[in-house]
Amino acid sequence: MNNSHMLIMLLTGVVSFAVAAALGKVAIPWLHKLKFGQTILDEGPSWHQKKQGTPTMGGVLFISSFVAAALIAALLLWVTDAPHVFGTPYETARFWGGIGLAVGCGLIGFVDDYIKVVKKRNLGLTAVQKLLLQLLLSAAYAILLFIYNGGRFSIPFFGEVNWGVWYVPFAVFVIVAMTNATNLTDGVDGLCGTTGFVAALALLLLSGLAGLLTQGVLAVALAGGLAGFLLWNLHPAKVFMGDTGSLFIGGALTALAFGLEQPFMLVPIGILYIAENMSVILQVGYFKLTHGKRLFKMSPLHHHFELCGWSENKIVLVFSAVTLVGGAAAVLLWLYAG
């Protein structure tokens, strides 16, 4: 990576941060005016009711900044170093495919939020509708990458493995699981945005180690956008990201992992998301097996800690630290077990 590439990366992060931060100044009053306020479900902690009416769908802030910054970076890279940066169809496919997957996940979330807020149907899309859309989108992305890379990716300690056609269902499973896990994590002010920011930084480091500039551009655009959004989303939140933002984050992180051909790195980097997802599965399973007993005070996991007396800021700090440790573990795995 030469000096011009470094400058483009820096510019990408700055633009993404600035756009997300500036959009908050305009979008939040507009969302208030349109009465796009969040309806707080009764199943959550009782004190969350005071958040009723806080604008939602704020994910559009960092989705817009991500796309704008990535497009500017792509243009600059094309003008300055096209033969090397976009030198193969595969490189082009995983860059634009990654943007498509992330934005597509965000659009699914946007439809879900729109139905909740505008159509006044609190649960939004049905589970079947949401799953079907996720399956179609993730399958299209997986098939695109399979066409160009033949189904290969790396596994720590084993090296590169070619899964052939099994690559597609595996990728679909990982994408759907990760997007739903990040969606579950969005329940405390700043939590999904902060952990997403830390995870994006970890993937940025892996992109640098792999020498994949286009994936680094996507990672820094994501990190910058989330940092700008957090100015408005940290406790007490002035805007929520909604499913629009949380599904986008899951799609973006997964696209980066597959773009790097390192989907198993999502295990350490996304360990917090996995824990949140598993807490719901274990809670439901234990409740059914014991006919009404609960394993956690409430699920997902962050609500359990809330009911244990943790403040929202403490939850964000601890969960982000866990993500940071997971990201560091992923870097070490890359260096010593790749």
Give the residue with greater pLDDT, 96 vs 157.
Answer: 96
pTM of the model: 0.94
pLDDT tens per residue across span 174-233: 999 999 999 999 989 999 999 999 999 999 999 999 999 999 999 999 999 999 999 999
d(Cα 254, Cα 261) in Å, to the nearest integer? 10
- Whether the upstream peptide bond of residue 236 has omega within 30° of 0, thus cis, is yes
Question: Residues of the chain with pLDDT > 70: what percent?
Answer: 92
Give the residue with greater pLDDT, 135 vs 157.
Answer: 135
Q: Do 224 and 15 contact (CB within 8 A), yes or no?
A: yes
d(Cα 279, Cα 273) in Å, to the nearest integer? 10
Q: Do 181 and 276 contact (CB within 8 A), yes or no?
A: yes
- pLDDT value for 250: 98
**pLDDT tops 80 at residue 27:** yes
**pLDDT tops 70 at residue 308:** yes
pLDDT averaged over every residue in the chain: 91
- pLDDT value for 48: 56
- pLDDT value for 47: 47
Task: Kindly report which listed range (16-25, 37-46, 125-134, 254-263) carries the lowest average pLDDT score.
Answer: 37-46
Q: Could you tell me the pLDDT band of residue 33, with boundaries at 50, 70 and 90?
A: confident
Task: Kindly report which listed range (8-17, 27-36, 41-50, 237-246) carries the lowest average pLDDT score.
Answer: 41-50
What mean pLDDT is predicted for residues 50-75? 90
pLDDT tens per residue across span 251-305: 999 999 999 999 999 999 999 999 999 999 999 999 999 988 999 999 999 999 9
d(Cα 286, Cα 215) in Å, to the nearest integer? 40
d(Cα 154, Cα 171) in Å, to the nearest integer? 13
**pLDDT tops 50 at residue 306:** yes
Q: Could you tell me the pLDDT band of residue 82, with boundaries at 50, 70 and 90?
A: low
d(Cα 331, Cα 2) in Å, to the nearest integer? 22
DSSP class of residue 270? T
3-class secondary structure for 78-125? HHHHHHHHCCCHHHHHHHHHHHHHHHHHHHHHHHHHHHHHCCCCCCCC
Token pair in block for residue 51? 């958040």
C-alpha distances in angstroms, 63 versus 2, 118, 282? 28, 20, 32
- pLDDT value for 209: 94
Q: Could you tell me the pLDDT band of residue 241, with boundaries at 50, 70 and 90?
A: very high
pLDDT tens per residue across span 114-151: 888 877 666 678 889 999 999 999 999 999 999 999 99
